[in-house]
Amino acid sequence: LYTAPDSCEGRCEEPYSEEDECHCHRECERYHSCCQDYHRHCRPDGFSSSRDAISDEELLHVSEQLYKLDHNKARPADIVLNPQYQASPGETGDQEDHSPQPLYKYVNEELFSKPTYASFIKLLDNYQRVTGREEDVTAEELREQDNFLKEVMKTELMRKLFAFLHKKNRYGSEQEFLADLKEMWFGLYSRGSGEQDSSGFEHVFSGEVKKGKVSGFHNWIRFYLLEKQGVVNYYSHNFNGPWDTYPDVLGLQFSWDGFYKEVGSAFIGCSPEFEFGLYTLCFIARPGRACHLSLGGYSLSIQTYTWTKSTYGHGKKYIATAYVISP
């Protein structure tokens, strides 16, 4: 049950926002800005009633709760960064390596033995990074997907997220939530000409190469492991978030095997379940729009997009992308 940007399903009485394509609060009729299905959905009974809408205030509250529940995040001593050169907005497309040293001076790799990290890392080599090449998913890779989902669902953070979405009538049971996570994140679709070559998980966490450029690739663990192998070359950063503990946020410029990423925003030092949970929350609550959250008292926004060319289930949408908006 996704709140599509052009529909009132699950959005009745959602507060007005200029960013919305159309609106679902009582005032929309006066301003002639209602979504086409406003009258069909915004009645007192069933899903889509005002009590099921996820308000801006609720997003701020639940994101702070998830932030506090990231028990597996890096401690301050676990990561030493060397951000070096800060690029101006006009320099991010220059493709110049302004930072001779790697971004990561040190990472305590004991983190990677935690169950959610270990199961996450196993997923990263399951993908053909070039779009247009069919993904060949083996039985072992399907088991790795299930194992990752099983491990993240054991965490207090993901249980809190489920409890919130359950209360908002998005899911009737944890099994239903788990099955939907698997489809929305790991379900395959085509970014090329018909090949089953992509998924939300591959794009966001592992990264892809499309038309000679890096596409997606918003994960710090993936970046660190490839930088350590000498495959990723850090160029500069254009944004360094206000956090003095982890998770932090950076906007990065880098090349991956010679393919360039102009701005690759990423959480730094968070657990896999934190990033996975926050992106899921925003995809369900504000798909196709900026999702405004609060982490440790600081504002942060996440942008998600739905994949519009194919669906699963009864018209549900796959995740096309999700990333932190770096100013």
Encode pLDDT of 127-177 as tens digits.
887 777 778 889 999 999 999 999 999 999 999 999 999 999 889 899 999
Q: Which residues contact 173 (CB under 8 A, 6 or more apart)?
A: 166
Answer whether residue 32 shows pLDDT above 90. Answer: no
**Which among 25, 73, 203, 237 is annotated as catalytic?**
203
Residue 203 bears catalytic tag? yes
Single out the residue of 212, 194, 199, 197 nearest to residue 261, CA to CA: 212
- Mind listing the pLDDT tens digit for each residue in 100-123? 999 999 999 999 999 999 999 999
Q: How far is CA 223 from the centre of its chain?
A: 16
**Which among 25, 41, 73, 261 is annotated as catalytic?**
261
**Domain segments of the chain: what residues?**
1-44, 56-325
Q: Does domain 1-44 have CATH number 4.10.410.20?
A: yes
Answer whether residue 39 shows pLDDT above 90. Answer: no
**Which among 25, 73, 210, 218 is annotated as catalytic?**
218
User: Would you place residue 19 in the very low, low, confident or very high pLDDT band (cuts 50, 70, 90)?
Assistant: confident
Answer whether residue 51 shows pLDDT above 80. Answer: no
Residue 261 bears catalytic tag? yes
Residue 73 bears catalytic tag? no
User: Would you place residue 48 in the very low, low, confident or very high pLDDT band (cuts 50, 70, 90)?
Assistant: very low
- Mind listing the pLDDT tens digit for each residue in 200-251? 999 999 999 988 999 999 999 999 999 999 999 999 999 999 999 999 999 9
Q: Could you give the percent of the chain with pLDDT greater than 70?
A: 95
- Going across the sheet that includes 316-324, the strands are 290-295, 298-312, 316-324
| Three-state secondary-structure class, residue 199 | coil
Query: So what's the pLDDT on residue 3?
Result: 63
Answer whether residue 45 shows pLDDT above 70. Answer: no
